[in-house]
Structures are given as structure tokens and as C-alpha cells.
Chain A
Amino acid sequence: MDEELNQRISQLIDNELSHDEALSLLHKMRKQPQLLDKMSRYEAISHAVKAEVFLSAHTDFAERVRQQIQHEPAYLLPQHNPLLRRNYKMFALAASIAAVAIMASQAPHAPIEPFRAPDMAMVKPQTPAATMTKPQAQEEPSVSVAFRPVQQDQFSTRFNDYLQAHTDSVYINGQANFQSYARVAAYGRE
């Protein structure tokens, strides 16, 4: 049974299910959250294999968007003038997009950022006060991130070197900065 479900989740991701089959599976997912987690994992692997890019959305993302849209004031206003109504629709659409952007930027989980060239521009500055009041993961924007400007290169090199000396996970992530280690080889002792 599990195997069959796994197969159908995989088919859903690949858009190979009929409308009724997809609907039935989605109903099951609503009742069994672990199936949603499974689909999320399959999606992650599928994206990684096919496109090297993966943006994660929370499992309740669609539900939160739906709830936000339900609370849009535009839907409660009188809509006598068709032109005015169209304007309200546009306003509602813009507000929804803004709401989605805000919700995405405040997602509680750690960010899963798109693949970037390996440089330490990924190190993001934070103010001490902000960092100490909340855990780091809650402070991190999940989609749009403002990085330090280019003149921080020297600054970034230092932190990249620190990271590489501290952990070998830089090899897994392909983030190693090997240039500086040419100098380490010159000064290091065997």
C-alpha cells in the first residue's frame, strides 16, 4: 500500500495523474500530513536532480494564502461600479501578492535558498539586537535576501576561511575557497 502511495505521489509531482486520481490523493494528504512531508522530500530530490534549484514552501503555504485572501478588505466592499470593481480586483491581487511576499519572508523555518555560485556573499549581516531577541532561523528571510555589497569581498574572504578551517562541510556544499589556501600551503607545517 505504501509503495503504491509513493508511486502515486511521484506521479502527482510529474503531473501524470488524472484529475480524479490527483484529487483523491490530495484528499488523502489532507488527512495524513506525513504524506505531504513525503511529497516535499520527493520534490526536493526531483528539483535537485533536474534543475539544481529548489525553493521550499511550507506545507500549509496554500492554506495560509487562502486565509489571507479571505481577509482581504476588497472582498467586503460594495461592488456596484464594474470599473471600480475591476480596480478593487487589481488592488486585491496586488495586496495578495504583497501578502504572499511578506508571509514568505517571515516563514519560520530555515531558508532553502536557490543555488548560488560558491562565495561568501551568502553570509548575511544581522544586528546584534535583532539576533539576540529571536533565534537566527526565525530572522532569516526565506526567499528574497539582501546581501552585502561587493566591497565586502575582503570581509567575506575572512569568514569563508574561518568556515573552511572549522568544518569540512564546505566540500559537501562546494563552498570551499581554495585561493587563500595556496598561501596556507606556503606557510603551513606538515
Chain B
Amino acid sequence: MKQAMSELNYQGTVAFLKNGRLETMKYFHAAEKGVQQERLLSLNSPLREIVRDADKVSCLFKSTQQIVVDHRPFGGSFLVDMPENLDELSATYDFIKVGEEEVAMLPAYVVVVQPRDDFRYGKRLWLEQQKFLPLKVELYDGSGNTLEQVVFTELQVKEALPFVDVNLAQSAAAAGDVQHIHQLQPQSPDQATFVVGSLPPGFREIFFTRRSMHDSKQPVEHLVLSDGFASVSIYLEKSSPSGAQAADNFQTLGAVNFFSRTLGGSLITVMGEVPAKTVRFIAEGIKLRHSNE
């Protein structure tokens, strides 16, 4: 499946149901000589075109000609993120083929990625039977309720598809502006002022950096954890009055859960597409590196 997703040229119409919103978009995946590009065109307002080249995501808003160029810490896919080695997931997930169905008028195998504990959500994948492209992906909670869904309503595999050049200069000249979210240098997690005392099975630290955000006077520390499928971010920043208000509180947005707490004058927030139990478990195990707190 991962090989098909990265090596084939394909296009179609995809409905994304994420964070309580339904977005229908045209999707294009071009691949040539190991280089790939994903492109999304929104069909509804706000009209925008999103292009991913490796870890760079460019988003052009049609009405304002505003462009955002975002260098992500790591590449992925708009459809579904798959780890390089599925064997690594065998301790935390079971992969079960549960049947065959049709999606977008194409026969598909239905595969359930069932978590072995309740620290993570499960996935259902509908894989097209000839090429093994994902036609539909569902994220579901412990009760089997669907939290997110990505589904093709039509899909065509092509011999070749063109790569799109995001012409920043031309677009910026057309009265728009370009905002760059620069690549942040990864740092060793050992440099963090906090340590994660307890991690759910399978999760490991994969990225750490310091970044400026909103009105924080000092850089915010950002640590990313992953179990291969699900990722969790931990943020630590100096606590402010509004931060103190946010502490010891759960927030939720679609499948994403947040939990904040204060620790030694800092606000710690743990968030990710995992159950509320998981973000709280991780947050409560965090300690300051040079403190007895």
C-alpha cells in the first residue's frame, strides 16, 4: 500500500471529514523517479490549492492570493500516514482483513488496524484490490465510533501526471503576500527542560525543537512522540494568566484531544489524535529535568 501510494500517479475526488468539518477536494498524486508531489484543490470556500513537495506544504488562497509555505518537520500524506515498517507496529496494533466492499465503484479489501490497548485509536482501511491504493480511511475510537474519515468518491490511476510549480514570485506580485514557516532545526530531546516520565507502549520521541509562538516571550519547547500511526505533541512554555486558566483542563477538536497542566511556572500541553486518557497519562508523567517537582 505504501509503495503504491508513493510510486503511482493517480487523481480523484476526496471527501475529508476531519475535526467536525467536511471538505471535498480534488486530489492529485504525481510521481517520477522517486520524487512525488501531492496536490489538493478545494471545491468549496475558502478556495485554496495545497501542494506538498516532500516536507514542504504550500497553500495558496485563491481569493486573497495569500500563500503560506510551511516546512514541516517530516513528510507525510494528506490521505493517511503509514510507517516505513509495519512490523514495528505488531506490538501495538493487529492488522485484520475483515472483508471486501466497494468504494467509489471499485472493489476493495477492508483491513482493520486494531489497537491492542486503549491508548490509541483504530483505523479501518479500504484498499483497492488491484493497486492497493487507499480508497477510504476511517479513524475510530474504542467504542467503534468513527471520528475521522477520508474517502475517494472517484479515483483514476494515470500513466503520468504533471508536477505543479508553485510560482511564489508571480503570485506575490499579484498583490498577495507570502508567509514562510521556516524549517526548524531538530534538537536533541535531552535539551528539553522537561522529561517524559511515562509513555504508553510503542510511543517514542521522534522530534524536538524550540519555536516562537503566539505571544510567548520565550521559545516554546515542542516534542513530538509517535507510535508509528498516532502522533502526540508536547508543548512547554512559560505560564501566563491565560495559560493558568487553561491548565488542568481537557479540550477536544474532532479526534484531537488536548490536556494542559502547570508545572513549576510553566504550562505543559499534551495533544494529539489519541484518546483523552492518553494525553492525560503522558501529561501527568512529565517532570522538569532539574527539579524535584
Contacts and interface: CB of A to CB of B under 8 A. Distances in A.
A184 B21 contact: no
Nearest to B68: A178
Contacts of A49: 24, 43-44
Interface in A127-152: 127-128, 131-132, 135-140
Interface residues of B, number: 81
A185 B273 CA distance: 27
Contact of A161 (B76, B179, B213): B213
Nearest to A177: B214
B48 A126 contact: no
A44 to B, nearest CB: 6
Interface stretch (B108-116, B126-134, B198-206, B240-248): B240-248
B147 A172 contact: no
A4 B258 CA distance: 46
Contacts of A47: 22
A140 B252 contact: yes
A178 B179 contact: yes
Given A125-B249, A189-B182, A180 B20 contact: no
B212 A165 contact: no
B258 A162 contact: yes
A115 interface: yes
A152 to B, nearest CB: 8
A2 B70 CA distance: 44
Nearest to B118: A135
B22 to A, nearest CB: 5
Interface of B: 15-25, 40, 42-46, 48, 50, 52, 57, 59, 66, 68, 70, 72, 76, 78, 102, 105, 141-143, 145-148, 151, 153, 179-185, 211-215, 219, 222, 224, 231, 233, 235, 242-243, 245-246, 248-259, 269, 271-273, 275-277, 280
Interface of A: 2, 41, 44-45, 47-49, 52, 54, 108-113, 115, 118, 120, 122-128, 131-132, 135-140, 154-155, 157-159, 161-163, 165-169, 171-176, 178, 180-190
Given A110-B255, A124-B252, A176-B68, 20 more contacts: A123-B251, A135-B142, A135-B143, A155-B246, A158-B214, A158-B242, A159-B253, A159-B269, A161-B213, A165-B211, A168-B52, A171-B50, A172-B16, A175-B19, A178-B68, A178-B179, A180-B214, A182-B179, A184-B213, A186-B212
